[in-house]
Amino acid sequence: MAVRVGHVIGGRLIEQAGERIDVVDPASGEVVAAVPAGTAADVDTAVAAAAEAFPGWSAVDPRERAAAVRRVSAALVERREEIADVITAEMGAPLLFSRAVQAGLPAATSAGIADLVEGGYAFSEEIGNSLVLREPVGVVGAITPWNYPLHQIVAKVAPALAAGNTVVLKPSEVAPLNANLFLEILAAAGVPDGVVNLVHGTGPVVGEAIAAHPRVDMVSFTGSTAAGRRVSAVAAATVKRVALELGGKSANVILDDVDGDALTRAVKIGVANAFINGGQTCTAWTRMLVPAHRHDEIVERVAAAAAKYTVGDPRQTSTRIGPMASKAQQDRVLGYIRLGIDEGATLAYRADDIPDHGAYVPPTVFADVRQDMRVAQEEIFGPVLCVLPYTGDDEAVAIANASVYGLAGAVFGADDDRALAVAKRLRTGQVDINGGAFNPVAPFGGYKQSGNGRELGRYGLEEFLEVKSLQR
């Protein structure tokens, strides 16, 4: 693989010797690259570089900063094929999905930030006798996951840059190679040395060093809820700002007035959302809530839809589900499938035609699921869909909200007003109504243990701004 990997600190690529972390292609089990295992000392150096760059970058006119983000977005489009190839190799997303989403979404979200600032976002306003300013937070620590590796990097770095911050980035060690490509793109776009610094490594070492660092003013973290709790605890010692985008167990409520072609569409979209990116999506609708009197009928439709998801080599265009991102993730998902069977859920569908090598798991549908089952409560992060019966809208809402999470969700209904009313009752950060499309500039984030703060668009930009009032 042609990607040059290493830390990038103060604009310098550091391909140091010493301990390294292998990057494994989950489809084949082959090692495709290795990145340095960063240390707390590496974080110190990166934070110092970011702090040194902050005064100059924060003083740049916001429109010039937005223009740099615009150039980054254009470069992401130009290098889409290269980015997609790298992400498929490091975490197993099907190549067509990598091109459209893993590489395409970061270009869209960064363009949205550039549009916002270039369109006249108000960094100041008059309120009575006060001049209220929105200023950059300072040095931002960005800690990102492996499931949408570049998207999560760009969702943090683009608004942080546009707001005038500098950044220390720690990507997931499972899928770190795209981060080095991104640092190349930033340099080519004219982002000055030291404004964004990259330190590879593990969460317990590099992630904790970033969260604890007294010169890091904010941490933006995306990952598991357990890891998010640890980031919050470590960051609390320095009372820095913390933004968290964590796990989910989202409910897809199909109301009892959905029938015919509309039901076919609801099931098709619901299964697609549950299985997107191999189910390794925090917003996946992994609980499908259906009217009890139509449970068996809908389960048959769900099983038929699930059977169309071909599992295999992510580089084949016929593949809809590739391997899990790692052997550890494969073991986790297979364990949950065994658990669902042991808990008494009905195994309505489980694919049997999957490769016998690599980190593959069978797409699975459980029926007759009770809300107290662990498979209905815990985030599995794989292609496993649970179908739960309900009686009446009130019970559907109660089941949907009976979760420690609240990140996303969906409602399908023949009556738009009724569907909207149910959607408003769901305690979750985003709800799609009748298949509403993802909006890359709408606020993204969760309730409860799905995190705090918002990403994307205006709300995402404002996460990286402090508010100051000047009275006169």
- For 312-365, write each residue's pLDDT tens digit: 999 999 999 999 999 999 999 999 999 999 999 999 999 999 999 999 999 999
Least confident interval from 1-15, 294-308, 317-331, 452-466: 1-15
What number is the average pLDDT over the span 141-147? 98
pLDDT at residue 470, as a whole number: 98
Could you read off the pLDDT of 24-43 as tens digits, one per residue?
999 999 999 999 999 999 99
Residues 111-127 have a mean pLDDT of 97
| Residue % of the chain over a pLDDT of 70 | 99
Say if residues 217 and 205 touch (Cβ distance below 8 Å). no
Domain 7-246+450-471 architecture: 3-Layer(aba) Sandwich (3.40)
List, in sequence order, every beta strand (DSSP E) within 319-437: 346-350, 364-367, 384-390, 405-406, 409-412, 432-433
Catalytic residue annotation: 245, 282
What distance in Å separates the CA atoms of residue 70 and residue 257, rounded to the nearest whole number?
45
- Domain-by-domain residue ranges, the chain? 7-246+450-471, 251-440
Question: What token pair was written down for 461?
Answer: 């930009």
Count CB atoms within 10 A of the CB of residue 471.
8
Same CATH fold assignment for domains 7-246+450-471 and 251-440:
no
Average pLDDT, the chain: 97
Residue with tokens 């991104």: 182
Whether the per-residue pLDDT at 233 is higher than 90: the answer is yes
Structure tokens at 462: 């404002």
Confidence category of residue 299, pLDDT binned at 50, 70, 90: very high
Above pLDDT 90, what percent of the chain? 98
pLDDT of residue 424: 98
From residue 211, alpha-carbon distances to 47, 216, 239 in Å are: 11, 7, 10
Mean pLDDT of 227-242: 97
Query: What is the structure's pLDDT at 1?
Result: 61
| C-beta atoms surrounding 356 within 10 Å | 5
3-state secondary structure 13-46: EECCCCCEEEEECCCCCCEEEEEECCCHHHHHHH
Backbone angles phi, psi at 111, to 5 degrees: -65, -35
Percent helix, strand and coil across the chain, each to the nearest 5: 45, 20, 35
Asked whether residue 2 carries a pLDDT value surpassing 90, the answer given is: no
Q: Which of 333, 383, 379, 337 is nearest to 363 (CA)?
A: 383
CATH code of 251-440, in short, is: 3.40.309.10
The residues pairing with 12 across neighbouring beta strands, listed in sequence order, are 9
Average pLDDT estimate for 115-143: 98
* C-alpha count within 13 angstroms, C-beta hemisphere, residue 241: 19
Query: pLDDT per residue over 152-167, tens digit each?
Result: 999 999 999 999 999 9
pLDDT at 17 over 90: no
Cβ-proximal residues to 399 (8 Å cutoff; 6+ apart), any chain = 251, 287, 289, 371, 388, 390
Q: Is the per-residue pLDDT at 3 higher than 90?
A: no
Residue 4, pLDDT score:
84
What is the average per-residue pLDDT within 430-451? 97
Q: Which tokens is 32 given?
A: 């495709």
- Band (16; pLDDT cuts 50, 70, 90): confident
